Amino acid sequence: MLHLLPLSTILLLLRTIVANPISTPQSQPLPLLIWHGLGDNYAAEGLHTVGDLANATNPGTFVYYIRLDESPDSDKTATFFGNLTEQVAQVCDDLANHPILSTAPGVNALGFSQGGQFLRGFVERCNFPPVKNLITFGSQHNGIARYQICGATDWLCKAYIGLLKANTWGAWVQSHLVPAQYFRSTNDTTGEPTEEYLESSNFLADINNERKLKNTTYAKNLASLDKFVMYLFDEDTTVIPKESGWFAHVNGSSGEVTDLKDRDIYKEDWIGLKKLDEKGGLEFKTTEGGHMQLDDEMLMDVFKTYFSPEKASWAGPTDKVQEQVEL
């Protein structure tokens, strides 16, 4: 039998609810993706120091270290050997099925060196969970014009580079040797990319939409970012040319630099950079030192400026478990 409450009782209950609202979970920073560079691995102590710093700056940050294999050694090997199209597809699948990341309304992303353009490839090709803020350090967004990754006495590395140089545009190299897949060759007279690059590049020519047939999804996805911040190391001698970190083109003969905004990739908005810039989402930054020379103060400033919960937050996973990796 239905019993109706007196009006006075209903009003008292309403006043009690208004005065004591139901508590909601405390907002947390968005999860953070970190993709490491060449010769590194997802379990490296230095990389986890960065993740710890992100958590110290914005407590409660769930940090996910992108990997291509659960074995740190195999993950490191994958930075040298592998098909980038397949690697990015694997990461897309891994993140889309991650029990925590797949439930988040968005994530932030931090890419070191080649990890930066790989994260951009993730954004352009799948972008789930959606990236809100993408920060890259010393990345090769406009490719490299020279292979410069070996120490003076690293003969194994030098043999690897010899293989790269011998047949950069060969089908085997373009599907197996990672740096070759973001190598970019141009005509120094016209500044235009060479036909062999446009025809054979397995990765860079595609994610930069340099071929005649443009993928409109790439531009839509990249323009959806809140911020895309590109840091360039002012004394970088590893990435050649270092201006690649800002999508600039450098003439191999004269050294003349053509900035992004003077290039067709921006003016015709091939990948959404112009639209992103027009809404205030594109930033060019310089930091002192050589390639990947970063200090805690710099990183903390990045985390506070772009990844703080005041910028974007979520309720967080039910089980607040930070990813643990045995170092």
Kindly name the residue from 113, 139, 185, 200 that is annotated as catalytic.
113
Q: Is residue 301 annotated as part of the catalytic site, yes or no? A: no
Q: Which of 60, 50, 158, 156 is nearest to 111 (CA)?
A: 50
Q: Cis omega before residue 317 (within 30°)?
A: no
Q: Is residue 291 annotated as part of the catalytic site, yes or no? A: yes
Token pair recorded at residue 169: 């545009």
DSSP letter for 10, please.
Answer: H
Kindly name the residue from 236, 244, 249, 277 that is annotated as catalytic.
236
Kindly name the residue from 36, 141, 249, 291 that is annotated as catalytic.
291
Residue 137 DSSP SS3? strand
- What is the number of residues in the chain? 327
Q: Is residue 253 annotated as part of the catalytic site, yes or no? A: no
The β-bridge partners of 144 are 183
Strands (DSSP E) contained in 202-301 are: 227-233, 249-250, 257-258, 282-287
Query: What percent of the residues of the chain are helix, what percent strand, and what percent coil, each to the nearest 5?
Result: 40, 15, 45
Could you give the residue numbers annotated as active site?
A: 113, 236, 291
